[in-house]
Structure 1
Amino acid sequence: MDAVSNCGDVTRGDSVTPARLHLRTSSVPARNRAALVALIGCCAVGLTACSDGGTGGNAKSSTTPSAPNSPNSPSPSPSTSEDAEKAAALQAYSRMWDEQAKAYAKGDSKETDLSQYAVALALSGTEDDLKDLRSKGIVTTGAPTHETTVASLELGKKVPHAKLTDCLDSTHWKFVYRKSGKPVVMPKNRLVRYVTQIEAEKWGKQWKIVDVVPQQRAC
């Protein structure tokens, strides 16, 4: 069976997820490639590593000094609470991936806590992946690793919001065929470490990951 061609460029509307970006770089026999094209919704393209665009670090808010000879106690610095919220948002992203790894490993999110940490597009994208992977008989082993920072934090909004940047390393995240255990072969020039942009919101007391957008850019 011939592979599908001329699929066009990937847009945000394609709901690209880490799993789909990972599989988009796969190199498989022609009889299997069409199935993977159907899985990811576009062409199987080998991505070469790009130069690192960089992900800026996060400067912590400094403590505001009290005015000299002020009769009043200094106002509490926002840095402590901001740092705590940053840590909580990062923890939510980490826990989401813990649960995603479990789901991808068995091809189903049932009996995982994924929905406690992922909502909206982050959750629906994963569920779409799992449905497609099940239909192709593919599961995963291992899990990606992360170097995640908080790019911005807006606590004053009605729904507190954070943007995270992750350098996701898929070196030890393997896609295999469930029945045979054989790996889905990947080309040597695929992106192994790539930038991922994350949107998070605080719902009540819990930070939730609402969107995860992999970038075709190495880190």
Structure 2
Amino acid sequence: MRGRRFGRWATCLLAIAALGAAPACGVEPGPAPGAAPVGDAPAPTRPAADEQAARRAALEAYAGYLAASRAASGRGDPHHPELSRFLADPLLTRVRLTIRDAKEHGAMRTGTLVSDPTVTSVSLDSSPPTVEIQDCLDATGYRLVYARDKRVVPGTGGTRHLATATATRFPDGRWLINAGVSHEDLPC
């Protein structure tokens, strides 16, 4: 009887010792005693930094797209080299066709286009990664005029309206605007 009691007692002690020595799963160790405290503000996580970089790159591509489009439209040059620097198909082809069409009809764009874009979404996990942009375009000072005498083409008055665009990161790392819609029926 005594042997049986000792066996149980030894088994319980071994089980307790084994549990005490085993590392706790899912529990991270706290700071070592005397360790220097970590700063109050946590460093930005890598995904947050990547998202910020994507936002900046997309907005730069969008601003480049607007500037290149204004320059190409003002010259009536559908193959202006800056267009392909900031645009990709299908939007690149659509912009080039619009500029060519205006030129064939003796018209060109002139004036100022005011933009106030904001990023509405960033999707870095999609394939390819994309950034959605919304803008309130003020085209009241941006006119389609006849090239020979600078008269405004009838029915082409500018408005303040909503515009949306999609920037896509291409395999070479560039962010290009490849989709865009001007919602002239939605004032802003």
TM-score, length basis structure 2: 0.71
* Aligned match for 1:141, one of 110, 113, 116: 110
Which of 118, 121, 128 is the matching residue for 1:152?
121
Q: 2:143 aligns with which of 144, 169, 174?
A: 174
Deviation at 1:75, TM superposition (A): 7.5
Contact 1:102 1:112 in 2 (8 A): no
Which residue of structure 2 lines up, in the alignment, with residue 197 of structure 1?
Answer: 164
Deviation at 1:142, TM superposition (A): 2.2
Q: Secondary structure at the match of 2:108?
A: strand
Runs of 5+ unmatched residues, structure 2 = 1-27, 33-37
Closer, same or farther in 2 for the Cα pair 1:184/1:191, shift >3 Å? closer
Provide TM-score, normalisation by structure 1.
0.62
Unaligned runs of 5+ in 1: 1-66
More helix by share: 2
Which of 145, 157, 180 is the equivalent residue of 1:212? 180
Distance in 2 (CA, whole Å) between partners of 1:212 and 1:191 is 18
| Equivalent residue, structure 1, for 2:79 | 110
Aligned mates of 1:96, 1:127 — CA distance in 2: 12
Larger RCO, structure (CA 8 Å, separation 6 or more): 1
Q: Which amino acid aligns with 1:107?
A: G
Asked which structure has the greater CA Rg, the reply is 2
Once residues 206 and 186 of structure 1 are traced to their aligned partners in structure 2, the CA distance between those partners, rounded to angstroms, is 37
Task: Tell me which residue corresponds to 1:44.
Answer: none
> What pairs up with 1:1-219 in 2 under 5 angstroms?
69=30, 76-77=44-45, 78-186=47-155, 192-203=159-170, 204-215=172-183, 216-219=185-188
